[in-house]
Amino acid sequence: MYGVRALEVLQERGVESHLVMTEWAKKCLAMETDFKMEYLKSLCTEYSDDSNLASGISSGTYRTDGMIVIPCSMKTLSSIANGYDETLVARAAGVTLKESRRLVLVPRETPLTAINLENMLKLARLGVVILPPVPGFYTRPKSIADLVDHTVGKCLDQFNIEHDLYKRWGT
């Protein structure tokens, strides 16, 4: 839900996006939503297979504003924290880090083990934004879509992308 919504909003805003999905992300899409891969591919500017380490985003020479891993499993978070760039998601995240670009991870797990927390701390100390999908109830959400929009809006805030996905406090 989070990843699909992020792609929808980026497309609405005219932001170029490159989508990579792990094998388990594809399975979760089918298990947790009614969305089809064809729809997701229609939302992004470019789609790369997670096994395609020759994709543009595998290289630091390829310009991007940054990367959002939404949602981010504990396995992928561990790969990024340990520089184990076996997949394109992990490689592209590593490239984002080495090129000092904005990297936002939306961890998806609860409760968290000390291993998970240590990996997150290591990344946070490197400047990675750890952005758990924790809803803000001051916005008085009326639906699951409102909760999803809140987290997606917080991700877009990290890139200074204008949106009206949630009402800001004090406005």
Indicate the residue type of 66. G
- The radius of gyration computed from the CA coordinates of the chain, to the nearest angstrom, equals 16
Q: Minimum distance between the CB of residue 99 and ligand FMN, rounded to whole angstroms? A: 22
CA–CA separation, 114 vs 33, rounded Å? 30
Q: Which is nearer to ligand FMN, 108 or 163 (CB)?
A: 108
Q: How many CA atoms lie within 13 A of 137 on its CB side?
A: 0
* Among 28, 53, 129, 161, interactor with ligand FMN by CB under 6 A: 28
Residues 114-153 that bind ligand FMN (CB under 6 A): none
**76-95 mask for ligand FMN (x: CB under 6 A)?**
x-------------------
Q: Minimum distance between the CB of residue 84 and ligand FMN, rounded to whole angstroms? A: 11
**31-50 mask for ligand FMN (x: CB under 6 A)?**
x-------------------
Q: Minimum distance between the CB of residue 69 and ligand FMN, rounded to whole angstroms? A: 9
Task: Confirm or reject binding of residue 155 to ligand FMN (CB under 6 A).
Answer: no
* Among 74, 97, 129, 161, interactor with ligand FMN by CB under 6 A: 74
Name the residues that contact ligand FMN, by CB under 6 A. Answer: 22, 24-25, 28, 31, 73-76, 108-109
